[in-house]
Every structure is written in C-alpha cells, then in structure tokens.
A = this chain, B = another copy of it.
Amino acid sequence: MYSPAIKKLIDLFSKFPTVGPRTASRFVFYLLKLPKEEIDSLISSIAELKSNVKICKLCFNPFQGESELCEICQDPRRDKTLFCVIEKETDLTSLEKTKKYQGFYFILGGTISTLKKTDIEKLRIKELEERIKNSPEIQEIILATNPTTEGEATALYLERLLKPFGKKITRLGRGLPMGAELEYADEETLSSAIKGRR
C-alpha cells in the first residue's frame, strides 16, 4: 500500500528495538512532515555517531574523546577494587544514576539463555577474562545481570567461569522493591527479603 521509499524506511525502523511496523510507519509520516533542516540534522547526527563515537577499550561503553578510554575508566577517583559486569549500555546509565556505585564497569553485550557455544560467543567472555587477569587490583566482581531467567543463567555461567580468579563474587541484592506489597510478592522475592533484612 505504501510507496517503495516509504516501505523501505518502515522496514528499517521496524528493526529498531521495541518498534513494530505500525510505530515505524508513524516515524516515517513524522519525518515526511519535518522541515528539511531537521531531516539534515538527523542524518548528520546518525552519520557522526559512527565516526565520532568510540567504544571504550576497557568497559566497552560508547564514548567520545581523544583517549582510548571512556570518562569512567579514566577517572582516578573511582574505586579500583570494585568491578561490575552488566548486560548492556543502558544498565550502566541506570547504575550511575543512583550515585551509589563508585567502581568500574564491563558491558557483557547480552545474556545467554542456554550454554550453546554460538550463544556464548556473542558475549564478550574472552575480553572479560582478559580484563580480570590484567587487573589484580579488583577485589570484588559484581555480576549485575538482571534477576530474570536469562540474567540468572548468565550470572551462574560467569560465576563458574570466574571462580578460578579467586576474587569475591557478588550479585545485586534481591528483595522487595519500592512500592511492593508483601501480599503480592512472589515467594522467592519474599524469601530474599527475609534473608536480607537489615
């Protein structure tokens, strides 16, 4: 029903995370109404992304700058003994916003749901082992994957893999979130809340 140029762009937007064909077509109609300057600004921003943004050699977070390392990895005030493994870039943002964590990060690049070799190879497993081997100052590795089935499986896999390094390995605390009610909490969360009382 749509013209080829519209259809192609709908297809490309449909691959964006959380976007289905209906939202993708709204994006295209939105762009069709934008003044030329704003279209140009969007295009140049997307183009600059690839050319200007680097991936940090240590934590794999995207950043901009002359250095090979992102701001966090360069920051001498951060706690070198703490090392936090996370699934993806937005998790780093979430943890930084709390201002409660002062250590370093490592972006794993995903989770595994099975122990299939092809699944594991998509993650930065080798880079993670390398990083820990070269960082004797690390005392605690926080496996901050999500407490979902996949996140748990990934943490379990990493725990076995990293045990030989002899560091303390922890996970984010489980318990009742803000606004929860005991009556509707699942048994596992409530069990964690009892064990983790303070």
Does A161 sit at the interface, judged by CB under 8 A? no
The contact size tier of chain A is 35 or more
Q: Are B146 and A171 in contact (CB under 8 A)?
A: no
Residues of A within 8 A of B (CB): 1-6, 8-9, 12, 16-18, 22-23, 25-32, 36, 38-39, 41-43, 45-50, 52-53, 55, 62-65, 86-91, 93-98, 100-101, 142, 144, 146-148, 170-183, 185-198
Q: Which residues of B contact A65 (CB under 8 A)?
A: 3
Does the CB pair B50–A39 fall under 8 Å? yes
Q: Which residues on the B side are within 8 Å of A190 (C-beta)?
A: 94-95, 97-98, 100, 172
Q: Within the oligomer, what is the number of copies of this chain?
A: 4
Q: Are A173 and B147 in contact (CB under 8 A)?
A: no
Known interface pairs A29-B62, A189-B178; A49-B16 also in contact (CB < 8 Å): no
Q: Which of A39, A50, A65, A182 has the most CB of B within 10 A?
A: A182
B147 close to A187 (CB less than 8 A): no
Q: Contacts A43-B43, A142-B197, A177-B174: A182 and B91 contacting too (C-beta < 8 A)?
A: yes
